[in-house]
Structure 1
């Protein structure tokens, strides 16, 4: 591949030495480079391809890093990373020890704000702009690039609402590609579509919020972008530039199938064809077991509804949307609304399955407490991507849910150790609970090919014995049972799957503490406030003095890498667990 321009660009100051007429060629080289690396290393493709010209124009016109540039959401930022000193490291993107797949302040001075979750850029950029005002620096520019449907989230509008009554030197660039991970939804999408078609001539929302509005313009027209950005650089106060881009621009398949090519896995860089996996046999992903089971249950229970926040594909809510389109709701990037919407439905006798990634449910914490748990409403929270998720890293690991949910009154928490347990707890939950339940399960494939077994009810708050042992017992929750079972092969330790983190099976725990001298807990959640902490509380409450060892995610943010690498790093792989148990048995 010829990159005669790109290889000369180490930092934006090098970019700014090029003549404007050279920039289209640079855009082609940058786009080809992103495609070639992501084809073999995997990652987020479509969003970054769509903003290649915009990325070049922003770094060309603005004096980064002195001018502050924020990307929202972060998977738009591959081109930005390559142009800001990380071209030679880009092949390590999202790998253990490599650069992050998202902007990260500790990684580069050009990454002005860490962004893994959506819709934060306007608030953060406004905070920076107001700080510049207070410091008397009225020349510094503050640019928030918000795309992939993030503008529709409540937090983005909160930021716009505040910015409109300030004199902050803020430029919001709306990267309008009409799609997040799945197609955009909601009234704002229709509004923006009308703006692009020229139908929406009056009542401009952004102007009503006191923003100077410019656009829409073609986000792939570099001369036009340069001209407009240079003009906006001289304007003071809050401004919004509406840019139209094509997600996946430059790769035919990525433009045609924007959902698949958001993060396509490995593909042929020349043809764009996906690399076929060796076999589709074997267990399904947990998310698909959830989605297919939900359809199965909905066929016999007309009160079941499904809610997701911009993740119909990621959570597999797409199956219910296809089978019962009037009973499945994608609310966009709006987790707070999703939770309270579910609560409202529950008050009217519906049975809402609210499917949100563990890491994203954090964004709706107040709503979980006040709108659901306080009112004891039977919302069924289905927390996909619980535990360590791999290459998306610290912003996406679902390692806090046991801690942040366990302290909430009226909340039941269940972690299935396999797909059959997931099906059965879903079946149990829709039969009628008196309050909310959270079901947390991991990313990726399950364990059982023949997972579609007849439903059985699960008794709330009851654990299970998996194997007997002597003196030492391991208590696990969720899919950590697999690693524990492997670790305990030919070791004389007992193993229980506690299943419920709340309520704990206290009858079973009394028996365990009376019969085993050492108790080891294993969870893929933070050791602070999680399942192990609950066992410690139980022991303290009942004056047990057994030795207790808590294994889980340490009190630190875990970086990106393969799940196996991360489990090894935090000591949750089978070998590490085995070493702990063996040492205890020897003591």
Structure 2
């Protein structure tokens, strides 16, 4: 809390032009800034930097298609960590690349083009003819010419750790009145041997021993339970498939990939495609599970509606990092999925509080007949495990008091702890949405209902529940305790829960307050 963000943030530095917690948006944002400058009478070029991983996102291609159609002094730097981009092959290809990266070659090409264009009557034709011959020859030698086909000059590849070579190439790129891609080859984790040898493990890190490169083992977590459970299901059911959007390790699917490679699909940073791909799998008789961070699922809401819910297809959404995620901040908080998913007819939502319930809900969902979302938090389960009925739609813990606290997911352990210091019942929602008539009848017996949830008030379970209860004639007190309509900043999970009055002490104070 109060520290530096792990992502670009304009309020922290003038060198952070845009918030970039999500991927694949740099070209679109930079091109908008470029056009705004032109409309304001400013000169100069704009530069977008995008990684080869982010280039798997469809939004990047939408932007490239748009930018390439115009005559703009716009530069795209492709930061290639050698993980996604196919390499050109052959000695002649390498020779041409080396030649193309020499400043004298580019200045000659620019001057020669100007010379041809000055020839009366046929200059334009000659310039176009020479250019087409050069491009045809280049296309015969290069494995692909993707960027050129979209209207870009292509410069590269160049060693991204060689500043002199980079400066030369950027100076050349600035001379063009045409969009240009500068292909930069870098080494992820450059300068730190452990990160260079294992880049995936050092993509995002917790505190670790810098001398030994050893990371602390946090033990079992919700994501690993998901992966283990899917492996168990897949062992006995050949229709079980696992899908992820470039987050294999993060969503706990590494073992599934290893053991069931033909039923594992990493589609890249393409959540929209992933959801519709799952719809296609379901249409073909498979049982797809899409493991995705709550924050990233937001990109695919349209596909959930049109390609899954309206179709009535049993696509299973494993919504990781649901609720407050902590230090990753505003761009990664999983506080929108409830509001988005409850607005879609035919979607069932579950929010397990521990590993046992999570495993049960995943196995049960193998027989689902509609879109099913199972959401769970980042990290480990609470050490305060109690026995409760997790197989019903809801469970009740208490002595038929006049006051009841309704909650679900991780906050259930907070409610149990609060119950030791205050007199109230607890109703835990195992099936978060939609509500059953049995649940509504049970809640209508209470004089006072408090709902605590780790999501936004707007469109949250609290609002839906109050609407249903008051619509059925409930005349008691109903209190909503959730996150205000705001973006939750970076802080520890415990600090954020306390800040939003969702911690144990806040529950106790709310229960004891009779106003």
- TM-score between the two structures when normalised by the length of structure 1: 0.76
1:111 offset after TM fit, Å?
1.6
Matched, 1:362 2:298: yes
Q: Call closer, same or farther: CA 1:311–1:145 in 2, change over 3 Å.
A: same
| Residue in 2 that maps onto 1:231 | 172
Looking at structure 1, the residues matched to 430 and 344 of structure 2 have their Cα atoms a distance apart, in angstroms, of 18
Looking at structure 2, the residues matched to 490 and 580 of structure 1 have their Cα atoms a distance apart, in angstroms, of 12
C-alpha distance after superposition, 1:477-526 (max 9, x if no partner): 11110111112213110001012222213312212222x11101111111
Q: Tell which structure's C-alpha radius of gyration is larger.
A: 2
Looking at structure 1, the residues matched to 492 and 93 of structure 2 have their Cα atoms a distance apart, in angstroms, of 46
| Residue in 2 that maps onto 1:120 | 25
Give SS of 1:260's match.
helix
Give SS of 2:427's match.
strand
Q: Call closer, same or farther: CA 1:241–1:518 in 2, change over 3 Å.
A: same
Contact 2:52 2:78 in 1 (8 A): no
1:131 offset after TM fit, Å?
1.8
Give SS of 1:383's match.
strand
Alignment of 1:50-199 (within 5 A): 96-137=1-42, 139-147=43-51, 149-179=53-83, 184=84, 189=85, 191-192=86-87, 198=93
1:226 offset after TM fit, Å?
1.4
Q: Call closer, same or farther: CA 1:142–1:489 in 2, change over 3 Å.
A: same
Looking at structure 2, the residues matched to 534 and 504 of structure 1 have their Cα atoms a distance apart, in angstroms, of 9
Q: Call closer, same or farther: CA 1:469–1:154 in 2, change over 3 Å.
A: same
Looking at structure 2, the residues matched to 202 and 362 of structure 1 have their Cα atoms a distance apart, in angstroms, of 36
Alignment of 1:204-243 (within 5 A): 204-243=145-184
Contact 1:428 1:458 in 2 (8 A): no
1:219 offset after TM fit, Å?
0.3
1:198 offset after TM fit, Å?
4.6
| Residue in 1 that maps onto 2:495 | 565
Give SS of 1:227's match.
helix
Unaligned stretches of 5+ in structure 1? Answer: 1-95
Contact 2:246 2:269 in 1 (8 A): yes
Looking at structure 1, the residues matched to 264 and 383 of structure 2 have their Cα atoms a distance apart, in angstroms, of 27
Contact 2:231 2:255 in 1 (8 A): yes
1:275 offset after TM fit, Å?
4.7
| Residue in 2 that maps onto 1:533 | 463
| Residue in 1 that maps onto 2:410 | 479
C-alpha distance after superposition, 1:149-170 (max 9, x if no partner): 0012110000000001122332
C-alpha distance after superposition, 1:138-181 (max 9, x if no partner): x23211110150012110000000001122332110000034xx
| Residue in 2 that maps onto 1:59 | none
Contact 1:386 1:398 in 2 (8 A): yes
Contact 2:394 2:431 in 1 (8 A): yes
| Residue in 1 that maps onto 2:285 | 349
Alignment of 1:265-276 (within 5 A): 265-269=206-210, 271-276=211-216
| Residue in 1 that maps onto 2:190 | 249
Looking at structure 1, the residues matched to 262 and 384 of structure 2 have their Cα atoms a distance apart, in angstroms, of 31
Give SS of 1:413's match.
strand
Matched, 1:387 2:323: yes
Q: Call closer, same or farther: CA 1:352–1:105 in 2, change over 3 Å.
A: same
Looking at structure 2, the residues matched to 134 and 386 of structure 1 have their Cα atoms a distance apart, in angstroms, of 41
Looking at structure 1, the residues matched to 90 and 191 of structure 2 have their Cα atoms a distance apart, in angstroms, of 25
Contact 2:335 2:455 in 1 (8 A): yes
1:312 offset after TM fit, Å?
0.4
Looking at structure 1, the residues matched to 444 and 349 of structure 2 have their Cα atoms a distance apart, in angstroms, of 22
Equivalent of 2:377 in 439, 442, 458 = 442
Give SS of 1:523's match.
strand
Give SS of 2:513's match.
helix
Q: Call closer, same or farther: CA 1:410–1:330 in 2, change over 3 Å.
A: same
Looking at structure 2, the residues matched to 387 and 406 of structure 1 have their Cα atoms a distance apart, in angstroms, of 15
Alignment of 1:247-396 (within 5 A): 247-269=188-210, 271-277=211-217, 280=219, 284-396=220-332
Give SS of 1:259's match.
helix
Alignment of 1:8-23 (within 5 A): none
1:286 offset after TM fit, Å?
0.3
1:319 offset after TM fit, Å?
1.6
1:448 offset after TM fit, Å?
6.1
Looking at structure 2, the residues matched to 197 and 177 of structure 1 have their Cα atoms a distance apart, in angstroms, of 23
- TM-score between the two structures when normalised by the length of structure 2: 0.87
1:469 offset after TM fit, Å?
4.6
| Residue in 2 that maps onto 1:49 | none
Contact 2:89 2:143 in 1 (8 A): no
